[in-house]
Structures are given as structure tokens and as C-alpha cells.
Amino acid sequence: MEATTWGWLVLGLPLLGSMIIACGWRALPGKSAGWIGVGAIGLAFVCSLGALLALLDQPAEGRQLTDSLWDYASAAGLEIELQILVDPLSVFMCLVVTGVSTLIHLYSLAYMESDAGYRRFFSYLNFFVFSMLLLILAGNFVILIVGWAFVGFASYALISFWYRRRSATGAGIKAFVINVVGDVGLVLAAFLVVRELGTLDFLESFEAARESFTTNDGVVIAICCLLLVGAFAKSAQIPFHTWLPDAMEGPTPVSALIHAATMVTAGVYLIARMFPFFELAPTAADISAFIGLATVIVAATIALVVTDLKRIIAYSTMSQIGYMVVGVSIGAYTAGLFHLMTHAFFKALLFMAAGSVIAAMANRQNIDLMGGFRRAMPFTSVTILIGALALAGFPGFSGFFSKDEILVYAAERGGMYWIFAIGGYLAAFLTAFYAFRIGFRVVYGEPVKEARELEHGQLAHGEPENPATGEREDTDVGFPGPEHHIAERAWPMRGAMAVLALLAVVGGLIQIPGVNHVLESFFAGTFEESELFHIVPSAGAAWAGLAAGALMAFAGIALAYLCYLRSPGITARLQQRFSRAHRFLFRKWYFDELQNALVYRPMVALGRFSNAVFERFVVNGIVDGASGVIRGAGSVVRGAQSGFVRAYALLLIGGFAALGLYFLVVAS
Amino acid sequence: MDTTWYLVLSALLFAVGAGGVLVRRSPLVILLCLELMLNAGNLALVAFSRSTGTEDGQVFALVVMVVAACEVVVGLGLIVAMFRRRVPLDVDQIRGLRG
């Protein structure tokens, strides 16, 4: 079969699964909705593999295949087709998305088992995977925008999944609004592309851009900056990042799938996909890289002090995506996408393990309340440590190879790009520290009450309450289910986590400097025409970089060991000593307050002003004035309407008589 | 005979009808007077038809009769309805249209 046929199957299966569950949920017995969801995504993964094999059959230069089903829209001289582009980049993304999604669906089978919205959950989740694949496989800007917006909606629906929690619906709306800002950026970018190049097709527009733009043309910089608005809103980069920590209101599998492994990497994918534009606009690419680096550092520092377990991992996600953005912006496409893949593995794993721990804590997420789950939850503890090691970039684990490859590439380009290498290594130190802040505090230390009870086989069962606000809740539909499921007692969770743990360990081995370069040769089919793609650091430099990364990881882990295990009082003393700095970080650099002050409050003030002045005096003035004029005219002519039938008759007869007389006079 | 006399009679009948509509207050009588006016018109039409020697006027007169019949049906129906609902049968007291 052709690679594009496999591509259509990859797209169709999740949509089919979503539709079956959404339309037939009443008829689906028991837990079958979950199995349909798992099956649909699993088959999509198999089809992605089929697309990979079909693509590998093609000669290296013929690996960009397009296919369209029908005309999607045809207007204003543009023929827009429902078109997919199957090339190494999109197949790679499909494999990552469907692979990780399959495992997370499997995990959700058990994790969401006692939730009243079980079927709704799988329908949403399948729809999300469909939208994400549409975004990835899109062959032109219109389909990309459609997928982009679908993904935003799916994210909204899943963040607000527990829709009777006020904090969840608020977080959903926040995510949606910020994502729509990104959508607008993307739409404007597509508009500029049409105006300048006259086509919306990816491959055609890349070709046309190389011919009609010179390096750093104003227009191409504008296009790239607008694309970046879209990418940053989706990928939670500064200043559009505030929705991501709040998105942790969603169920944990959602955090693992959407807000760690797949959706938030869409921005990285977009920058990589649009590389011909970014290489024509090095200024925009540099802006992007600097914002990425800023996000890496800011998010890493916030992750040092936040106490909510899921939010720590969320800030870590922002930080890691910052690495990817730096990578694909400076031209390290292979490295950036490589990190995207390994990050998907270990971050999904960390979230799943966190979900298991949170379930053991009866839905409480505060890391200060946790500790000593080593004996109570051996499996979860091991996966947390594996995830933390991979995140920290411990030698041999997947994150070790991918993160350092980006930084070595930055150093290889030299000059200004050294900033990214140095900043990246500094943040790697912070990363290792906060990764083991999670690892040591949750796994080691003195067991808390819940851990002790669990050691005796008693799973904590707290009152249902909102972990963010402490509000009492129901366990009815629209709230989390009454029971909690931990990995030790549910084989689907254990299976999914075991596979991801394996991948988090060995995932880095496909691209070892000086040994093999599977990804690099595969991506050549997409990035062949890029000059930056062909800059490859020497094996010696790469290994030096790896050594530096290892050093940072060791240092970070050692410091975490010192702070949390050797002498646990240190952090509290530091916190007291530098209370102002701690508060600055704890309030997340005041980004929420900044957004409130810059956007939200002025908008509210503008609304109040419009209501008090414009609405009251101008709009009401026009309406009242018009009705006043009509009323006045009415009171003048009202006297004629006496209501006497005979008066009307007299008027009629008199009028006709007068008319007759007039004609007589005129005729004579 | 000269057409003039017919027209004079028609005008007289019309004036009587119009006067009745204007001075009487009972809806029933007003309806009768309206009939008188319509038939005055018919008389004029038939007289003209006769003087010109064509049938057009007579056809018109037939149409007017049909219209008159319809109007009587509606009018009488209204009067019966008013009577049943105890609305006073006096056109001066029915003043719902007053502005």
C-alpha cells in the first residue's frame, strides 16, 4: 500500500473510534468504550508503522508524498484540497503521537475506571488524537489550521473534563483563550503567505518562498513571527505559558498525553515544518531561540519551588519544550525532534507515575504531604526514578543523548549561539535538581500516613475535595470518581508504564554521536534542502558535550540528595533566608499578575468605560432619540383619530366629493 | 328616455344613502344605507350601459351585486356577534380606534 493510504488510515481510525463512542455510548456495555478507544489508537499506531515502512521503500529523495481526497474549499482563485503530506517528519510525529497515545489510553482504562464520565473521556481522548494527527499530516495551511483549532478544543474539553469543578472550567477557558490567540497568529501568517506567494500548499509555498524572498525580508520575518505566536501559544512558551500549569486541573492521563507528550509539542513541530521560512528569516529564528531559552530557565526555576506535584512536572514540561524550541530554531532539527520523542516517553511516564502517587494520596497533590512511598509502591517508585533520571539527563538514559545534542549543535554554530549552550547546561543542572526533588521526596524519606497504611494493604480513601481549593465535592458525573487506582493494583496502568519506562531508558540509543544516526538519515527526506541541517558536530565535540551534560546531571542530583536526604532542613532555611526570592519564584515570576495587569484589567476597565459612557450616552441616546421623535410626531397626529365611525365616513365622503369637484373644475 | 333622469335618481339615492350613513347610529341601518349607495351606483352603471349600447356596465353591476352580498354577509355577521357579546349596537360607542 502507498504511504499516503496508510496516512489516511492513521487519520480515520481515531475519528472512527471517537464517533463510535460518542454516538453509541448508550449501547456500549461496561468498559467496552475504553477498549474501543485503545483499539482505535493502537490500530492507528500499526498504520503509522505501515506508513513508515512504505516510506522507507521509496528512494531517499522521493519521500515527500501528498495525496488529497477532495476539494475542501475553492474560492478567490485558491484551490484548497483536503490534503495530507506524508514525509519523514510527519510519519515520525505520527509514530510518537499514536505510540504514546496508545499507552496512555491503556493507562486510562484503569485510571478512569470508576469515573462517571468514562465513555465521554475516551470519546474526547480519541478526538484529541484525531485532531493532533490532522495537524501533523496536514498538507496545506488550511488543514493545519483546522487541526490546530480542533486540538485547542480537545484540550479545552479535557481540561474541563470534571466540569462541575469551578477551577477546572476556569482553567479550560484560560487555555482555550490563549490558544485562540495563537490560532489568530497562525491564520494571519497563512493570510500573508497567500498574499505574497499565492498558494497555501506547504511544498509549493516553500518552493515559492525560496524564489521570491531574500534573506530577512520584512514580510518573511512577519510571517515567521506570526507563526511563532501560534507555536508559542500551543507550546506554552513565554509569554503564552500561563495556561499550562492551570491545565493540570484535567485528569492525570490528560496531563500526560496532551500537556506533556503530544499537543504542547505541536509548536516545535510547526517550527520544524516551516523551516524554509525560518531559514529565510534568521532574525525571527533567533527571536524564537531566545524565547525558548528564556522559557527553559524561567520554568526550571519555578519548578524548584512549586509544591503541587503535577505543576512541578508541568513547569518541567515547559522547560523541556523550551529546549526543543531552541533546537529547531537554531537549526538542530534532528536533535530538537529527537528530544521531542524522548521527552514524550519520560514525561508521560513521570505523569503516569505521579497519577499513581496522587491516587495513593486520595487525590491530594501537594508534594509536602508526600514521602516514603518506596516500600508501599515499589513499581511506581521505580518508574518515578527512571523518569527522573531520564529527565535529569543521567548518562545512558534517553534524555541524556537528546538534550545534549541540541546544546552541542548550538556550540557548533558558535558565536552568539554559545549563549544557548551555556544557558542550556545551566538549566540542565536545575532540571536534575528538581527532577530529584520529586524523586527523593516522593520515593525516599520518612513514609507518610498514607504510605504506611498502603504498606499494610490499605489504600487511602479521603473525602472527595478539590486539591487546589479544598472545596468539598461530589463523586457524581462531572467530578472525579469515588475510587482511586494505583499502578500496583491495575495491570493496564502497570503495562503502559512498563513500556514507557523501557522506552525512557533505551529511547536514546537510536542516535548516539559517532555510533549511529538513525533519525538524522531518516529526516534527510524532509530537511534535505536546509543548509543548517547539514551542520553536524564532530563526534569528539558531541562526546565532550555529553560529558558536560553528565556533569550537570550528577551535580544536580548530588545537590538534591544533599538538600532532601542528607540534611532535609536546608531547603526550609534557604526559603526563610531568601524569602523574597522564594516568593518571586513561588508566584511564578508574577506572570499571571502581569497578564492580569496588562491585558485582563485594561480590558475590564475598557468594558466598564464603554458601558458607562458609550453605551449609556451614545447608544442609548440614539435609541431614545429615535423613539422620542416618533412619539412626538404621533402625539401631533393623534387628534385625527377620534374613533367615531361616522366621522371617518364623513371624511371619506367629503374627500370623494372634494375630489369630484376638483375634477369637474379641472375638466370645465 | 334620456339617461339624465336615471342619473338624477341614482344621485338622489346615493345622497340618501350617504346621509343615512352619516346621521344614523345603528349599525344595521348604516348597513342598509350602504346597500342603498351601492345600488345607486348600480343604477348609474346600468343607465350608462343602456345609453352606450354595450354590456360592460351591466357586467360591472353584477360584480357590484356580488361584492354587496359578501359585504352584507360579513356586516350582518359582525352585528350578530356584537349582539351576542352584549356590545352596544351604537357606532358612536364603539371607539376602540381612538388614538
**Among chain A residues, CA nearest to B20:** A646
* Structural domain range at position A8: 3-586
Provide the domain count of chain A.
2
Question: Which residues neighbour A197 within 8 Å (Cβ) at sequence distance 6 or greater?
Answer: A204, A205, A208, A209, A212
Are A394 and A257 contained in the same domain?
Answer: yes
The predicted model gives B26-48 an average pLDDT of 92
Quick check: B62 pLDDT over 90? Answer: yes
CA distance B56 to chain A (A): 23
From chain B, the residues in CB contact with A643 under 8 A are 95-99
pLDDT of residue A316: 92
Residue of A635, A636, A638, A644 to mutate, interface with B, max B Cβ within 10 Å: A644
Q: How many CA atoms lie within 13 A of A336 on its CB side?
A: 29
CA distances from B19 to A655, B15, B30 (A): 15, 6, 10
On whether residue A100 sits in a domain, the answer given is yes
Q: Residue A149: pLDDT band by 50, 70, 90 thresholds?
A: very high
Q: A92: which 3 cell numbers?
A: 515520525
Per residue in A440-456, pLDDT (tens digit) is: 888 888 888 888 888 88
Taking an 8 Å cut-off on Cβ atoms, the answer to whether A642 and B96 are in contact is no
The closest CB to that of B91, out of A634, A645, A653, belongs to: A645
B92 neighbourhood in chain A, CB within 8 Å: 644-646
Identify whether residues A569 and A622 lie together within a single domain: no
Q: What is the model's pLDDT at position A412? A: 87
A residues 588..647 contacting B (CB < 8 A): 634, 637-646
Q: In angstroms, rounded to a whole number, what is the distance separating the alpha carbons of residues A414 and A410?
A: 7
Non-local (6+) Cβ contacts of A219 within 8 A are: A192, A196, A213
Of A529, A580, A115, the residue nearest A355 (C-alpha): A115
Residue with cell 516553500: A206
Q: Are residues A525 and A618 in the same domain?
A: no
The whole-angstrom distance between B50's CA and the closest CA on chain A is: 24
Residue in A639, A642, A649 closest to B22 by CB: A649
Distance of CA A189 to the CA centre of its chain: 20
Q: Is A248 helix (H, G, I), strand (E, B) or coil?
A: helix
Same domain, A599 and A518: no
* Closest chain A residue to B15, measured at CA: A653
Q: Given an 8 Å threshold on Cβ–Cβ distance, is B22 in contact with A653?
A: yes
Largest interatomic CA distance in chain A: 126
pLDDT tens-digit readout, A224-257: 999 999 999 999 888 888 888 888 888 999 988 8
Is the domain of A563 the same as that of A435? Answer: yes
Instruction: Please tell me which residue of chain A has the smallest CA distance to B14.
Output: A653
How far apart are the C-alpha atoms of A139 and A148, rounded to whole Å?
A: 13
Instruction: Give the Cα separation of B76 and B84 in Å (integer).
Output: 12
Q: DSSP letters of A228-239?
A: HHHHHHHHT-TT
Nearest CA in chain B to A653: B18
Which residues from B are below 8 Å from A658, CB to CB? Answer: none
Q: Which residues of A touch B94 (CB under 8 A)?
A: 645
Look at residue A217 in the predicted model and tell me its pLDDT.
Answer: 84
Is the domain of A345 the same as that of A400? yes
Check whether residue A175 and residue A268 sit in a common domain. yes
A142 and A197 belong to one structural domain: yes
Among candidates A639, A643, A650 on the partner chain, residue whose Cβ is nearest the Cβ of B97: A643
> Closest Cα of chain A to B95: distance in Å?
4
- Nearest-by-Cβ selection for A641 from B18, B92, B98: B98
A649 vs B95: CB contact, 8 Å cut-off?
A: no
Chain mean pLDDT for chain A: 88
Cβ distance of B22 and A643 shorter than 8 Å:
no
% chain A with pLDDT above 70: 100
- Does A646 contact B94 at a Cβ distance shorter than 8 Å? no
Question: pLDDT digit string (tens) for A88-128?
Answer: 999 999 999 999 999 999 999 988 888 888 899 999 999 99
Within-domain flag for A636: no
CA atoms of A602 and A557, how far apart (whole Å): 44
**Structure confidence by residue, pLDDT tens digits, A412-427:** 887 888 889 999 999 9
Q: Is residue A637 part of a domain?
A: no
d(CA A498, CA A496): 6
Q: Please list the alpha-helical segments (H only) found in A162-201.
A: 166-197
Question: Residue A47's pLDDT is what?
Answer: 93
What does the H/E/C string look like for A25-92?
Answer: CCCCCCCHHHHHHHHHHHHHHHHHHHHHHHHHHCCHHHCCEEEEEEEEEEECCEEEEEEEEECHHHHH
Residues A342 and A394 in one domain: yes
User: Does residue A653 share a domain with residue A540?
Assistant: no
**Gyration radius from chain A CA atoms:** 30
Mutate to test the interface with A, among B14, B22, B34, B37 (most CBs of A within 10 A): B22
Q: Kindly list the residues from chain A whose CB atom is less than 8 angstroms away from the CB atom of residue B23.
A: 646
Q: Are residues A514 and A396 part of one domain?
A: yes
Residue A635 lies in a domain: no
Is residue A317, in this structure, part of any structural domain at all? yes
* CA proximity to A309, closest of A357, A242, A378, A375: A357
Contacts of A634 in chain B (CB under 8 A): 99
pLDDT 10s digits, A259-312:
888 889 999 999 999 999 999 999 999 999 999 999 999 999 998 888 889 999
Q: What structural domains and CATH numbers belong to chain B?
A: 3-84 (1.10.287.3510)
Taking only the tens place, the pLDDT of each residue in A77-88 is: 778 888 899 989
Of A258, A347, A355, A238, nearest to A301 by C-alpha is: A238
- Which residue in chain A has the smallest CA separation from B17? A653
* C-beta separation of A346 from A508 below 8 A: no
Tell me which amino acid residue A288 is: S
The reply to whether omega before A239 is within 30° of 0 (cis) is yes
Residues with Cβ within 8 Å of A317's Cβ and at least 6 positions away in sequence, in order, are A236, A244, A259, A260, A264, A343, A347
Flag if B21 and A643 touch (Cβ within 8 Å): no
- Is beta strand A78-86 parallel, antiparallel or unpaired with respect to A65-75? antiparallel
Is the pLDDT reported for residue A516 higher than 90? no
pLDDT at A476: 78
Chain A residues close to B26, C-beta within 8 Å = none
Q: How many Å lie between the alpha carbon of A636 and the closest alpha carbon of chain B?
A: 11
| Smallest Cα distance from A645 to chain B, Å | 6
Whether residue A74 lies within 8 A of chain B, CB to CB, comes out as: no
Query: CB–CB of A51/A44 below 8 Å?
Result: no
The three cell numbers locating residue A352: 503516569
Q: Which helix (H) or strand (E) holds A468?
A: none
Work out the average pLDDT over A27-37.
86
Residue A21, domain member (yes or no): yes
pLDDT of residue B99: 67
Q: How far apart are CA A409 and CA A164, in angstroms?
A: 48
Chains A and B: how many Cβ contacts under 8 Å?
Answer: 34
Say what percent of chain B tops pLDDT 90: 61
Residues A303 and A346 in one domain: yes
Q: Tens digit of pLDDT for each residue in A471-513?
A: 787 777 888 877 888 888 888 899 999 999 999 998 888 888 7
In 3D space, the residue among A47, A68, A32 whose CA is nearest the CA of residue A1 turns out to be A47
Residue of A637, A646, A648, A664 for testing the chain B interface, max B β-carbons within 10 Å: A646
